[in-house]
Amino acid sequence: MSINEERGQNDLTEHSHNHSHEHGEMSELSDTELRVRSLETVLAEKGYVDSAALDAIVEAYETRIGPQNGQRVIARAWVDLDFRSKLLEDASTAVNTMGNVSPVGSHLIAVENTPKRHNMVVCTLCSCYPWEVLGLPPTWYKSAPYRSRAVLEPRAVLAEFGVTLPDQTEVRVWDSTAETRYIVLPMRPAGTEGWSEEQLAALVTRNSMIGTGLAQRPDEKTEGS
């Protein structure tokens, strides 16, 4: 199975978690979502989980934890050379200075893309992922095809994501673990001189921070892609 086929199968969505359970809403849920709701209800009724606590966790990931944090980090690194140096030296400390909801793992590492090297992140054993700065991992990141092929044939995998690199550009694959997570610092797109951090953050994609994509060009953003 190719990565594209895997990406096409139920890529992780970020639905809002609403306990009103109106009939119209319930009819729009998938079988998996209905089963999750039913399981949550049973566990809550038996006192094994606290629905309010679950709602708080979901709300945090929907509004405060996610790729928007990583986008802000990357944009700051593009405009602030001192912050960029600190990010590459100690990503955990640098990222946490920006007021994240919860501390990033003690071993977050930032790897910088350059014309000579393109970095790509994978977790070959499971799906270790820096949730605090990237949000919930996409389905394809956890899939067996990506986890195996990213190491064996990274250029082929990148091509399936629409990324073609010059032959002289080295591709380096970083394997995340439970103790060590990575975030890619993509190259700043040309034509963004004088842009604000907010404008730059809008060009940063989740995939560019994993390494399976590039930051958007200004013309791509203008076209709404």
Instruction: Please choose, from the candidates 44, 41, 139, 63, the residue with its C-alpha nearest in 3D space to the C-alpha of residue 33.
Output: 41
Q: Is 128 in the active site? A: yes
Structural contact between residues 58 and 65, judged by C-beta atoms closer than 8 angstroms: no
Residues 78, 80, 83, 84, CA torsion sign: positive
Q: Is 85 in the active site? A: no
Structural contact between residues 117 and 95, judged by C-beta atoms closer than 8 angstroms: no
- Helices 81-89 and 67-79, axial angle in degrees (round to 10): 120
Angle at 12 between CA 7 and CA 16, to 5 degrees: 155
Catalytic residue among 92, 123, 143, 208: 123
Helices (H), the chain: 3-7, 23-27, 31-45, 51-63, 67-79, 81-89, 91-96, 131-134, 139-142, 144-152, 154-160, 197-201, 206-210, 218-222
211: phi then psi, degrees, rounded to nearest 5: 105, 0
Q: Is 102 in the active site? A: no
Catalytic residue among 128, 143, 176, 208: 128
Residue 167 identity: D
Catalytic residue among 30, 106, 126, 196: 126
Q: Is 126 in the active site? A: yes
Task: Report how far residue 83's alpha carbon sits from residue 104's, in angstroms, rounded to the nearest whole number.
Answer: 17
Question: Which positions are annotated as active-site residues?
Answer: 123, 126-128
